[in-house]
Amino acid sequence: MTTTPAEQAAMRRALSLAATPGVPLGPNPRVGCVLLADDGTEIAEGFHRGAGTPHAEVAALTEAGDAARGATAVVTLEPCNHTGRTGPCVEALIAAGVRRVVFAQRDPNPVAAGGAAALQEAGIEVEAGVMATVARGVNRAWTFAVEHQRPFVTWKFATTLDGRSAAADGTSRWISGTDARRDTHTLRAECDVLLVGTGTVLIDNPQFNVRDELDQPVEHQPLRAVMGEREVPADSRIFDAPGEALRLQTRDPAEALKQLYAAGRQHVWLEGGPTLAAAFLKAGLVDEIYAYVAPTFLGAGANAVGDLGITTINDQLRWHLKRAGVIGTGADATVRLTLEPAKAGL
């Protein structure tokens, strides 16, 4: 069984729908669905708009009405086969009389998996794995979280050319340029948790939110989490609205991630100080790094990362440079490095 050009075009459209900007992040994956008639023309489309809302398949079926009978459903993720806040999409597709289902990524969640088999048992043709790699990219953090039972962790830091994240007097605003700070907010918005340590709250008292190009807080804010055993003032700015804030009374990165995963969170943006960064690195719990390197020197002050216990060059933590780019111009320019863990043997 193979896909038709119309089904491939529909999958590209479904992937675009799944990645629709502005959809609140949450415990559910991003999913798009396109319904096709026998002649390959589009009947309806839909996408998941956040936890508690109709799934993509149901949204498309609702739009199609009776026209869904005999149609082909092109979906970015294997239709779910369980009841959560909404009913199983498999049952909705069967009830609507869909003839064929083409999907991209198999559902890695054992609770929701099994949709393909259930559809086939109902006599519906199923084609799996179409543009699966692209679909995994759309749900990169969600897929990782389900497969590893913990959130994906992105560590961001800004540093001078000599590796300093703050001056000798503790000041750190602003090492990176204006354009780099705007870039940071764009990337923060892709996460559902912003995590710092108690030290950062006590020293910097940050708002730690996501702001738009006008420097105003966006409508849907990630959860702001403060990790550590020290007490922080209840009137700290990190607890201000909009959005929610959470205290994690632990210094253990694994325990913090366990609590966040239990709360349905998938992607942690780590932006604490050098001590917190070192703890996550030593625990092997950093999955991606954004390093903003400014063309400046301090000569003294806090390092970007704390003591990792490394005493010889052979034990260095080596990372793979995924991409590099310059943000801003002139003295305001900053180099952004995107890094991922080096693969074994490299």
- Catalytically annotated residues: 57
> How far, in Å, are 73, 265, 275, 285 from residue 279 at the CA level?
46, 20, 6, 9
Burial string for 313-343 (b: 16+ CB within 10 Å, else e) reads eeeeeebeeeeeeebbeeeebbbbbbbeeee
> Hunting for tokens 């319904």 — which residue is that?
35
Instruction: Decide if 310 contacts 316 (C-beta within 8 A).
Output: yes
Give the whole-angstrom CA distance, residue 42 versus residue 59: 14
Give the whole-angstrom CA distance, residue 236 versus residue 217: 17
Give the whole-angstrom CA distance, residue 45 versus residue 22: 18
DSSP codes, 45-72? EEE--STTSPPHHHHHHHHHGGGGTT-E
**Paired sense of beta strands 125-127 and 100-105, if any:** parallel
DSSP codes, 221-286? PPEEEEESSS---TT-GGGPSSS-EEEE--S-HHHHHHHHHHTT--EEEE---HHHHHHHHHTT--
Do you find a cis peptide bond into 54, omega within 30 degrees of 0?
Answer: no
Give the whole-angstrom CA distance, residue 250 versus residue 236: 19
- For residue 157, the cross-strand partners are 291
Residue 150, burial from CB neighbour count under 10 angstroms (0-12, 13-18, 19+) = buried
